[in-house]
Structure 1
Amino acid sequence: MKAIVLKYTLAWCLAAIVVSCSNQDKLILVNNGEADYEIVVRDNTSEDNHRSAEILQNYMQQISGVTLAIVNESEQSNDVAQIYIGSPSDENLEEHTIQIQTDNKNLIIAGGSDLSVRQAVYEFLEVFLDCKWYAPEAEAIPDNRTIILNKPIDYKYTPEITTRTVHSRLFYENPGFADKHKVTTEAFPYYVPTARVHTFHKFVPEEVFYKTHPEYFALRGNKRLPTQLCLTNEAVYNIVKDSVAALFSQFPEASVISVSQNDNQQHCTCENCKAIDASEGSPSGTMIQFVNKIAADFPDKTISTLAYQYTRKPSKTRPLDNVLITLCSIECDRSGPIEEKCIDFANDLKGWKEITENIRIWDYTTQFTNFLAPFPNIHTLQPNIKFFRDNHAKWIFEQHSSNPSELFELRSYVMAKLLWNPDRNKNELITEFTNGYYKEAGIYIKQYVDLIHEKIKEHGDFFLFLYGDPSQAFSSFLNSELLATYDGYFNKAEEAVAQNATVLKRVKEARLSIDYAILEACKKNLNKDFSMILINAHGGKMINPDVIKRLERFYNTCKNANITLMNEMRFTVDEYYANYKNTMTVATQPNKALGKKVILLTKPKKYANEDPQVLTDGALGGNSFYANWLGFEGNHLEAVIDLEEKQAIHSISTAFLQVTNHVVFFPKSVTYYYSNDNKHFSKLGTVVNDAPLSKTSKINDIKYFDLEFPVLEARYIKVVGENMNEPPYWHHAAGLPSWIFADEVIVD
């Protein structure tokens, strides 16, 4: 007992020595729960600065238990020291600059604007008082009854990226959390809300103008199609100018409007447009000339346009000073930094830098076809942001999924920190987050992050695509051995926090990506350890119990976390769950075509290695066209399956995929035939698509074309899927060939 008292007394003596140190080198804001400070806001300051003062007051109270008074400058006391919030009138800071400095016993927290003052307060709390904000409901605030800072403090920072957006609902739905991380609270700040991107179809709607004025639209081949606008048509310019004027009048507080191409590559090739693009060296030539005309009509506003896909290469014409170039990196391989893996884009950015100072980067950081899939690109975020910064991009929009995706909180945190300061140590940031957010489980989640990124680097030729699928990686960073290892990390992580319900929930959400990858591997019957189907003692098929358990865990975790979407095509978690259960039913059905030879009478293209056996291999396709689907572009599916001998059959079913925004549609119909000599085929019946394509069609779906008939004997089955051949005129890909994707043919 004496030793404890002695230790306690010694601690207080040491504290007294520290507190008694000269004010020359210490700033004692709080001493053992007491403070001789007040927070001072400048006279005639804004409500925003008063709010910033309240934020500082609140967090200092949480840290120390002391509530500092907030007073106006003209009412400040003479017998206490001051913490000043806001820049003095004689301090001329740049708009985005923050400054934290000491003046004798006083502390000054300042910024070049009200927003910068708020950012300076949060920087002070984070850098000097060690506050951490991991997620809207997860922060770490120190518990210190004594707050002592070393003097002098002269901290000044001007972010080179001045408009920072992370496309995450964590920031959009929680403005206070966005403020703490110094990112915007919306995707398109300052923009007219109804004209933010891909606006041609809004200014000149096909429904209004196409039938009466087809010349307003793009010439493709020998036909005008409403895919894009004809930018050399004077009437189009006048319509767009009037639309822009009307929208600025409707939204006078907005300073930016997008005058930009629709989301397709079907630009106008009429003689006038073609001549300009040829002389400019890029289809961005007609775009910039057109946008410059609009910008000249609105000199006090900013006209934003896209350098995207066909307009990505710079024009020779310089954009006007009030034109904002939004340069998009959608095509890039995400397995490595853009400068290494996407050289053409890198060169385009450098080219735009030579002709404009107004560049907004639209970057992409998640797999849009599979939000919850493992997507090991975190190692590329910092080099990419630094590359953008070094090429004078002052406005960066990092298009994450907005909706939850793999390691959603971690990615949102790291991206925000790197946008504020691209030179931060990325590995320290990740460790800081995993240890702070996942507590004792953090070490295992960090091991997962490190290993999966290490493994993708070992496969230098792997193209990590925004529109890819985990099935592409089952022979590389998601092979069966690694999936088992990753799964083991999450088992340990859950064990480490099993008694902490709050943190356990976070770990389960982090685990979703590996559960999803394993579920997809089992659907593909990757190997005996990752298979949907087991053979029971009687030789019959049964669903692997681990798959059932994992699917239920995946679904329940999503439900508990309010995670509703699987991809950008609005495919829901509920639909995935229902489809997976249906797939289990299909997988256990008798199938006389399983493993049987397939002969294709028409040629597939690109996907599933163009292997006809995909139709009978027992691996069932997922909701991405990369996931075990055989694709036919602009032609029909015609396949013959050899059952090897005559067999009694009474039903045939074939699955087809639809992804309308990627020009993948259900067939118009599927017709089944049978034969016993592979020469003379008799028609069994036709299944017509009962949900033909329309503007309101479900974007992402799977449909089974089922046919039942009286029992007969057959050896050969022919399947003919009728392709639409090309989309309707109103589709963004009008004039291009359309796809059909087929998977397992089931014969019983």
Structure 2
Amino acid sequence: MPLKPLFGCWLLLLFAGGHVFARQEQFQFSQKHGLPLIWASSEIEREQAEFLQSELLNWLDASLPIYIGPSAPKSFFLKLEINPSGFENTYFKIQSLDSGISLVAKDQLALSFSVSTFLEILGIRKYTADFTYYPEDKTIVFPKNFDKSYQPDFDYRALFYPEAYDQSFRGWHKLDWHIDDFGLWGHSFSKLISTKEHFDLHPEYFALYEGKRRSESICMTNDGVFALAKKNLETLILENPGARYFSISQNDGVIHCVCGQCKSINDANGGPTGALVHFVNRLASEFPDQEFATLAYQHTVLPPSEIKPLTNVTTIYCPIEINRGQAIPEDSRSEFVGNILEDWQSVNSKTFVWDYTVQFSHYLSPFPNLHVLQKNFQFYKSKGVKGLFVQGYGDIPGDFYELRQYLLAKLLWDVHLDFEKEMEEFLLRFYGNASEYISAYLSLLQAGQQAQDKILDIYSGPIAQSKTFLAPSYMDQYDQLIKKAEEATESDPLFASRVAKVRKSLEYVYLEQAKYYGKNDFGMFQKENGDWVVPSHLPLRVKSFAKDANQRGIYEIRENGPSPDLYVHEWEHIIENALLENKVENFYVTYLTFPSPEYQGNGPLDLVNGIRGFLDFKIQWVGWYETDPELVIKTGGIDFKTVQIGFLEDQRQWIFPPENVRVFGWRKNKWKLLSVKHLASLREHPEVDRKTIDLKIKKAHRFEEFKILIKNQARLPHWTYRKDKMPMVMLDEILLK
């Protein structure tokens, strides 16, 4: 439906050859009343003149003629002009004159921005690369005496979402594209100094950390490293002549060199950023006409106290750990963000932010953070941030990616736009008659998230939020709203398909939570004739979900995660192997030391519920961090010969098998040691794996209770060591055999 007029009533318009004679509040043009021509001052403006002509033709079903020349035409015109003078602090200007409407810009790029802005003033919207909205009323209405200059709130505006791969979408929304703009992007040490080529021959090129040379980072004070990095940069600059920036940044991790020279620089600058900026400056000084960037990330998040980045170095601050459920200026837990930005501004006015706006662990799971986006961008602007790289789903069409990327693109240009109005219009035009139900669904998600004072993390998901906004009571309400949306669009295949994608997000939550709930309500198992079974409809739902995901181009369920087809395979493996026969199923288990609050699962019975733990540490596992698991199981004198305990090994998540396990039996008012198992030394093991430990027990029937003491690893092994991390031990099924 068309927008309601934004201006007051206009007076009668009289035309002769396109000229406007009568005074009025607005200009009005249509095929019936006459159309203006498009005036390009020279051939330089022709491309944008033709683009404007094309878009107006799509809307008005009429082609406006293009006139090219320095002299003003006699007809009313839409003028396009590039004029570098007078645009020191602005990109372009749009004015309405008695004889026409003028779009004047400082350069070719700014002129393209002015054209899309003008089209938006007329009510046209580019919601996706394939969906441009044109008002139903085919009338150009533009205010008289309009005079406005435009400039963006951020100088650099990059968006990493599916539609950003499309040049027409980027161009319309005035977006930069980091893939083209950076000749070397992101974490780049491994690209500058190849571990494969140099580690064995020159271990001194790499970080000395915890007494060993580590391939994860480089020594930033080594002259050989500098010479090699300079040579490789020279090659990259020649190979990428159009690149604006080259990133010189640590790899993704906290390993950094603490050799004598690096440590000396770091000590003088208050932390590891000292050696990094020293290294970046040294390289940047060799290429004074080239712009460079470096990440303020994890251990390099704070600026150095003595060294300042050179003028051709941009800092990109990455606040990866903040709460995404509450706006930064309104959350005391995120107060540090402002402090860090102010500190960086004091040493480098060229500061960008790498903002994270989606849930990377579950691309399809609901992530209610839309309400914080505008306030966060306004906050960044207030702190002097010059550019934003907004990371989303990349090229994967995740949950509500269409709405997210559109709103974010608009905010990157203007942080003070009418956010609610833009979202309302998008929902109406993208979901049709279902818009009110989709809007209600988004509002309920937000209300559910805000009802709990719990951090919304970019590595959250259906399990972590199963007691908050994805709890069963909320899931039922979401289901009802989406049913209404489906009913409202059942006669329109396009809108129905868009609603179906929203439904698939809820379906994904259901499937993930079914594994978590297990034999409880909403779980994947149900009793039939006294036996636990997987209902026949569940594998069909999994396959249907995967088929739809494949058809929509969702080739990855989560960051570095399985494809839809592999997701089906994982489910098939779970269905085939999850159920176990356990003599103490649902026996009484008491914790002597409690697991970590976020890894308690469904309680102590998760350890004896007859379900094997999966490879996802959030499902059917119970975890202890910074403490040793100690628990008691009441067996009632049943006989068995072996205690088998399942452990998870996921070294990327700092989850390891324990050092040892001891089992005691309670008899004659005291604990008697029955069995001890010492595990082998840890080895580097990148795959996620489930391990079991068997402990032999003699005459188990003589004991009513058994105490299990598990000794966690004392410290992380050197290949995963982080100063702020400790090993975690995770248990699943305890079997008596």
TM-score between both structures, scaled by the size of structure 1: 0.84
**Secondary structure of 1:310's partner?**
helix
Among 76, 82, 95, which residue is 1:101 paired with?
95
1:568 to 559, 568, 577: 559
- 2:4 match: none
Match of 2:404 among 380, 396, 411: 411
Which whole-Å deviations, capped at 9, do the CAs of 1:569-624 have from their partners, x for residues lacking one?
23222222322233334455544453245689999767513966433346775665
Are the structure 2 counterparts of residues 572 and 747 from structure 1 closer, same or farther at C-alpha, using a change threshold of 3 Å? farther
Correspondence for 1:7: none
Letter in 2 for 1:179: G
Shift of 1:306: 0.9
Is contact 2:578–2:613 with CA below 8 Å preserved after alignment?
no
Which residue in the other structure is 2:115 paired with?
Answer: 121
Give me the whole-angstrom Cα distance separating, in 1, the residues matched to 2:74 and 2:225.
70
1:484 CA drift (Å) = 0.8
Which of 235, 242, 246 lines up with 1:253 in the alignment? 242
Partner residue of 1:11? none
1:155 partner SS: strand
Deviation digits for residues 270-308 of structure 1, max 9, x if unmatched? 333233222222321222222111111111001211111
AA partner of residue 209 (structure 1): H
The answer to whether structure 1 residue 161 and structure 2 residue 154 are counterparts is yes
Deviation at 1:34, TM superposition (A): 6.7
> Does 2:35 match 1:52?
no
Q: Which moved more, 1:334-343 or 1:619-628?
A: 619-628
Structure 2 residue aligned with 1:326, among 316, 325, 334?
Answer: 316
Note if contact 2:96-2:143 (Cα within 8 Å) is conserved in structure 1.
no
- For residue 551 of structure 1, what is the aligned residue in structure 2? 542
**Which amino acid letter does the alignment assign opposite residue 199 of structure 2?**
Y
Provide, for residues 123-176 of structure 1, a one-character-per-residue CA deviation record: whole Å limited to 9, x for no partner. 11112x21122222223212444323231222321112122112102211x211
Q: Relative to 1, partners in 2 of residues 1:77 and 1:319: Cα closer, same or farther, differing over 3 Å? A: closer
Using a 3 Å threshold, how does the CA distance of structure 1 residues 117 and 208 change in structure 2: closer, same or farther? same
Could you tell me which of 171, 177, 182 is aligned with 2:174?
Answer: 182
SS at match of 1:225: strand
Specify the SS of the correspondent of 1:86: strand
Give the Å deviation of 1:56.
Answer: 1.0
Aligned residue number for residue 111 of structure 1: 105
- Deviation at residue 332 of structure 1 after TM alignment: 0.9
- When structure 1 is superposed on structure 2, of 34-43 and 626-635 the one drifting more is 626-635
Q: 2:421 aligns with which of 420, 425, 428?
A: 428
Code of the residue aligned with 1:208 in structure 2: it is: E
2:499 to 507, 510, 517: 507
Instruction: State the SS of the aligned residue for 2:392.
Output: strand
* Residue 383 (structure 1) shift: 1.0
Check the 8 A contact 1:255/1:301 in 2, yes or no. yes
- Which residues of 2 match residues 438-477 of structure 1 at below 5 A? 438-460=431-453, 462-477=454-469
d(CA) in 2 for partners of 1:358, 1:209:
34
Shift in alpha-carbon separation, 1:713–1:452, aligned structure 2, 3 A:
farther
**Native 8 Å contact 2:515 2:619 kept in 1:** no
Give the counterpart letter for 2:574 in structure 1.
T
2:51 is equivalent to residue 61 of structure 1: no
Q: Report if aligned partners of 2:60, 2:139 keep a CA contact under 8 Å in 1.
A: yes
The one-letter code of the counterpart of 1:486 is Y
Per-residue deviation, 1:672:
13
SS of the residue corresponding to residue 557 of structure 2 reads coil
In structure 2, relative to structure 1, the CA distance for the partners of 1:732 and 1:422 (3 Å cut) is farther
Question: How many angstroms does 1:238 deviate by?
Answer: 2.4
User: 594-603 or 275-284: which moved more?
Assistant: 594-603
CA 672–132 in structure 1, closer or farther in 2 if over 3 Å, else same: farther
Deviation string, structure 1 residues 415-463 (Cα, Å, up to 9, x no partner):
1111111111222222121111111111111111111112222222x11
Aligned to 1:81: 76
Shift of 1:119: 1.3
1:351, CA displacement in angstroms? 0.9
Structure 2 counterpart of 1:313: 302
Describe the shift of the 1:551–1:492 C-alpha distance in structure 2 as closer, same or farther (beyond 3 A).
farther
Partner Cα separation in structure 2 for residue 620 and residue 380 of structure 1: 39
Counterpart in 2 of 1:5? none
| Counterpart in the other structure of 2:36 | 37
Inter-partner Cα distance in structure 2 for 1:42 and 1:623:
65
Report the Cα offset of residue 264 of structure 1: 0.9
Aligned equivalents of 1:682 and 1:312: distance in 2? 45
Equivalent in 121, 139, 143 of residue 132 of structure 2? 139
| 1:156 counterpart letter in structure 2 | S
Percent of matched pairs sharing the same residue: 25
Unaligned runs of 5+ in 2: 1-8
Once the two structures are TM-superposed, the CA of residue 728 in structure 1 deviates from its matched residue by: 7.1
2:525 aligns to what?
533
Deviation readout 1:454-500 (Å, 9 max, x if unpaired): 2222222x111122232222222222111111111111111110121
Over 3 Å counting, the alpha-carbon distance change for 1:204 and 1:587 in structure 2 is closer
CA distance in 2: counterparts of 1:578 and 1:646, whole angstroms: 38
Contact 1:34 1:66 in 2 (8 A): no
Q: Is the 8 A contact 1:62 1:143 kept in 2?
A: no
Shift of 1:122: 0.9
After TM superposition, give the deviation of residue 330 of structure 1 in Å.
Answer: 0.6
Q: Residue 135 of structure 2 aligns to which amino acid in structure 1?
A: P
Q: Give the SS at the match of 1:355.
A: coil
1:383 aligns with 2:375: yes
Q: Does 1:336 align with 2:329?
A: no
Q: Higher mean Cα deviation, 233-242 or 579-588? A: 579-588
Tell me how far apart the structure 2 counterparts of residues 484 and 283 of structure 1 sit (CA, whole Å): 49
Residue 358 of structure 1: how far off its partner (Å): 0.7
Matches for 1:581-730 after TM superposition, within 5 Å: 581-587=572-578, 590-596=581-587, 608-609=599-600, 613-617=605-609, 624-631=616-623, 646=638, 654=646, 656=648, 658=650, 661-664=652-655, 680=674, 703=689, 729=719
SS at 1:53 equivalent:
helix
The answer to whether the aligner puts 1:481 opposite 2:473 as a matched pair is yes
The 1:733/1:418 distance shift into structure 2, 3 A limit, reads same
Deviation at 1:650, TM superposition (A): 11
- The answer to whether the 8 A contact 1:596-1:643 is kept is yes
Count of residue pairs the alignment pairs up = 710
Question: Could you tell me how far 1:231 is from its partner in structure 2?
Answer: 2.1
Q: Which moved further from structure 2: 202-211 or 522-531?
A: 522-531
Root mean square deviation of aligned Cα:
4.1
> Following the alignment from structure 1 to structure 2, what is the Cα–Cα distance between the partners of residues 363 and 624?
27
| Secondary structure at the counterpart of residue 101 of structure 1 | strand
Letter in 2 for 1:443: E
User: Is 2:255 the counterpart of 1:269?
Assistant: no
Residues 1:559 and 1:657: Cα distance change in structure 2 (over 3 Å): farther
- Matched residue SS, 1:576: helix
Aligned to 1:496: 488
User: Which amino acid is the alignment partner of residue 487 of structure 1?
Assistant: D
Equivalent residue letter for 2:65 = A
- Between the aligned partners of 1:141 and 1:432, the Cα distance in structure 2 is 12
Q: Which structure 1 residue ranges, 5 or more long, are not aligned?
A: 1-13
Give a deviation string over 1:492-548, Cα, whole Å, max 9, x none: 111110121111111111223322222222222289652222223x22223346755
Contact 1:134 1:436 in 2 (8 A): no
The answer as to whether partners of 1:522 and 1:547 remain within 8 angstroms in 2 is: no
Query: Residues 351 and 467 from structure 1, CA distance in 2 versus in 1: closer, same or farther, beyond 3 angstroms?
Result: same
For 1:272, give the aligned amino acid. Q
Match of 1:70 in 2: 66
Q: CA-to-partner distance for each residue in 1:90-109, whole Å, 9 max, x for gaps?
A: x5324861222122222222
Q: What is the CA distance between 1:723 and its match in structure 2?
A: 8.1
The answer as to whether partners of 2:579 and 2:610 remain within 8 angstroms in 1 is no
Residues 79, 98 of structure 1: alpha-carbon distance in 2 compared, 3 angstrom cutoff: closer
**Which residue in the other structure is 2:224 paired with?**
235
Assess, with a 3 A threshold, how the Cα gap between structure 1 residues 78 and 329 changes in structure 2: closer, same or farther: closer
Residues 269 and 54 of structure 1: is their aligned pair in 2 closer, same or farther, counting only changes over 3 Å? same
